[in-house]
Chain A
Amino acid sequence: MTNNSTAILDAAARFRREMGDNLHDKLTEAIYADAGQIAARAVSSGEQSNGVNFGQFFDRLVTSRWFGFPLMILLLTVVFWLTIAGANIPSAMLGELLQGTVYNLLHDFASSLNAPWWLSGFLIDGVYLATAWVVSVMLPPMAIFFPLFTLLEDLGYLPRVAFNLDRLFKRAGAHGKQALTMMMGYGCNAAGVVSTRIIDSPRERLIAIITNNFAICNGRWGTLILIGAIFIGSTAPPALASLIAATSVVAIAILGVIFTLLVSAFLSKTWLKGEASSFSLELPPYRPPQIWQTLYKSIVDRTLIVLKRAVLMAAPAGAVIWLMSNVNIGEASVAAHLVSFLNPFGLLLGLNGVILVAYIVAIPANEIVVPTILMLTLNMAKSGLAQTGVMSGIDDDLQIRQVLTEMGGWTLLTGVNLMLFSLLHNPCSTTIWTIWQETKSLKWTTVATLLPVVLGIAVCFLTASVARLTGLI
């Protein structure tokens, strides 16, 4: 600090003492006084319409003591129910087209060119098929879910959710704005982590960063919706299947909120001690959403961006999976070695080796977990059955279920634990990088990366043990 700047600050402090401490108040009051006068001259109001009261009525309902939380859960369930019920048929059609017709055409084309087996295998069974999986499995649910979610967002419902949950966040020693960063995390955790910048206190900001991963991101909704539909929904009578599947996804989302609160409370009582600082949250007026714009925005900004990312990741992942499955070390392929190495640990957690390998391959993008699992399961089975072409025939949920249960040996427990693990595992590499960028702290980046995996392993082990002890499986 130079002498001059010290002099300036000293002079300022002297004037401050002379004039008293409430200058800010006086200035603010002066501005509001002027604002009031100017507004009074410019605005004239006629009779109040009923629109305002409708908004208020609606607000009292969605934040009411008895209906606030049930309505929140109901709304989420309806959104997922529409997604699951609506995505079924287009998913099957896309699957038939991409994994059936186009896949066969590509192979026919390759054999007409006399392409060597490894080249067509690498490109068609590896790169192409992984990409096709991602598109057919993820596109339909996303194209339904994102517009619905964006609609809720544009309507102004999300600040009401933050309002409803604020008390719980306060109890957990977390900043009220953490609920808002969580909402951002439901789109993308990397974006959620960046949005924690709105939290001023470093302590509370770190808590928000570490727990953001418990908000299920775009890349994981697809996995949850699919597994919920084929493992949980199928346990119910057909008429109720979609509803039950939707409920299971909502349950996982709520579990995510519970983990957010528990971990926040834990952190603010241990390494990041402190009281919650206060904040003010505006509940903006409800605005009629613009349906077409919402559709456009959610498809361009969300669905296509997520899909693009998934496809970009799926192509190289497909290549890696194909290579792993076709390059042999000794008797078995690399993939087989890896899977059998991780299998005992996976089974202990109620998962399996394939799932764990898939989660390693999918570190760059959660979107490709299910396609990776399917390809690996098929390749593992294939190496035993020694037949080709099996994998092209899967084009709807029923067949996916068949592949997983018959070839992969999945049970209801595997499905449930995959959903739990989908909630509780390390953030994707983009998010980890973002956490590092935002914290510049190796320690907190490590904590934010490993804490969810450790929790995931513990929770999966617990459910698996309970299921085994009670003889449920």
Chain B
Amino acid sequence: MTLDKLKMGRTAVVTGVRNQSTERRRLYDLGITPGTPIENVMPSPLGDPIAYRVRSAVIALRREQAQLIDVEE
């Protein structure tokens, strides 16, 4: 499944990042690489973006970004 489907409070492991662009680079540089655990910490009041914990930092991603990230629970 993709990261945007991950429920609040749950942790999954990144299996891959789709898309071949600078967007993918940015996600990689944030430490979102295959094998990294990622947790849905909380959504914003309007549901998008969502804050995720990855490598001990909390980072907000918009839905389109989360949809690029494949995860496995």
On whether A and B touch (CB less than 8 Å), the answer reads yes
Contact assessment for A167 and B51 in the assembled complex, using a CB-CB cutoff below 8 Å: no
Q: How far is the CB of A64 from chain B (nearest CB, A)?
A: 7
A460 to B23, CA, bound (A): 44
Contact assessment for B23 and A167 in the assembled complex, using a CB-CB cutoff below 8 Å: no
**Which of A32, A56, A284, A285 has the most chain B CB atoms inside 10 A of its CB?**
A32
Contact assessment for B65 and A278 in the assembled complex, using a CB-CB cutoff below 8 Å: yes
Contact assessment for A63 and B45 in the assembled complex, using a CB-CB cutoff below 8 Å: yes
Choose one: A32, A59, A176; the contact of B33 (CB below 8 Å): A32
A residues contacting the other copy or chain, number (CB 8 A): 29
Q: How far is the CB of B19 from chain A (nearest CB, A)?
A: 11
- Which residues of B are found within 8 Å of A168, using beta-carbon distances? 46
Contact assessment for A166 and B29 in the assembled complex, using a CB-CB cutoff below 8 Å: no
Give chain B's interface secondary structure class: mixed
Q: Which of A20-28, A119-127, A138-146 contacts B (4 or more CB under 8 A)?
A: A20-28
- Which residues of B are found within 8 Å of A285, using beta-carbon distances? 58
Choose one: B23, B33, B62, B64; the contact of A166 (CB below 8 Å): B62
A69: Cβ under 8 A from any B Cβ? yes
Choose one: B26, B34, B44; the contact of A163 (CB below 8 Å): B44
- Please encode chain B, from 20 to 39, with 1 for each CB lying within 8 Å of some chain A CB and 0 for all others: 10011111111101101000
Give chain A's interface secondary structure class: helix
**Which of B27, B31, B41, B49 has the most chain A CB atoms inside 10 A of its CB?**
B49
B residues contacting the other copy or chain, number (CB 8 A): 31
- Which residues of A are found within 8 Å of B25, using beta-carbon distances? 24, 28
- Please encode chain A, from 161 to 177, with 1 for each CB lying within 8 Å of some chain B CB and 0 for all others: 00110111010000010
Contact assessment for A167 and B47 in the assembled complex, using a CB-CB cutoff below 8 Å: yes
- Which residues of B are found within 8 Å of A166, using beta-carbon distances? 44, 48-49, 60, 62
Q: Knowing A64-B45, A163-B44 are in contact, say whether A280-B60 is a contact too (CB < 8 A).
A: yes
B42: Cβ under 8 A from any A Cβ? yes
B1: Cβ under 8 A from any A Cβ? no
Nearest B residue to A70 by beta-carbon distance? Answer: B45
- Kindly identify, within residues 151 to 198 of chain A, every residue whose CB is under 8 Å from any CB belonging to chain B: 163-164, 166-168, 170, 176
A29 to B41, CA, bound (A): 24
Q: How far is the CB of A179 from chain B (nearest CB, A)?
A: 11
- Which residues of A are found within 8 Å of B33, using beta-carbon distances? 25, 28-29, 32
- Which residues of B are found within 8 Å of A279, using beta-carbon distances? 62
A41: Cβ under 8 A from any B Cβ? no
- Kindly identify, within residues 425 to 451 of chain A, every residue whose CB is under 8 Å from any CB belonging to chain B: none
Q: How far is the CB of B15 from chain A (nearest CB, A)?
A: 13
A279 to B49, CA, bound (A): 10
Q: How far is the CB of A26 from chain B (nearest CB, A)?
A: 10
Choose one: B45, B59, B61, B62; the contact of A164 (CB below 8 Å): B45
- Which residues of B are found within 8 Å of A64, using beta-carbon distances? 42, 45
Contact assessment for A21 and B46 in the assembled complex, using a CB-CB cutoff below 8 Å: no
Contact assessment for B29 and A28 in the assembled complex, using a CB-CB cutoff below 8 Å: yes
A100: Cβ under 8 A from any B Cβ? no
Contact assessment for B29 and A282 in the assembled complex, using a CB-CB cutoff below 8 Å: no
Nearest B residue to A28 by beta-carbon distance? Answer: B28
A183 to B47, CA, bound (A): 22
A68 to B48, CA, bound (A): 13
Q: How far is the CB of A38 from chain B (nearest CB, A)?
A: 13
Contact assessment for B45 and A69 in the assembled complex, using a CB-CB cutoff below 8 Å: yes
Contact assessment for B46 and A280 in the assembled complex, using a CB-CB cutoff below 8 Å: no
Contact assessment for B47 and A280 in the assembled complex, using a CB-CB cutoff below 8 Å: no
A278 to B62, CA, bound (A): 7
Nearest B residue to A168 by beta-carbon distance? Answer: B46
A65: Cβ under 8 A from any B Cβ? yes
Contact assessment for B41 and A167 in the assembled complex, using a CB-CB cutoff below 8 Å: no
Known: A60-B42, A64-B45, A170-B48. 8 other contacts (CB 8 A): A21-B20, A25-B24, A59-B41, A164-B45, A166-B49, A167-B44, A282-B57, A282-B58
Cβ-closest 6 pairs across A and B: A68-B45, A167-B46, A281-B60, A283-B58, A28-B28, A278-B65
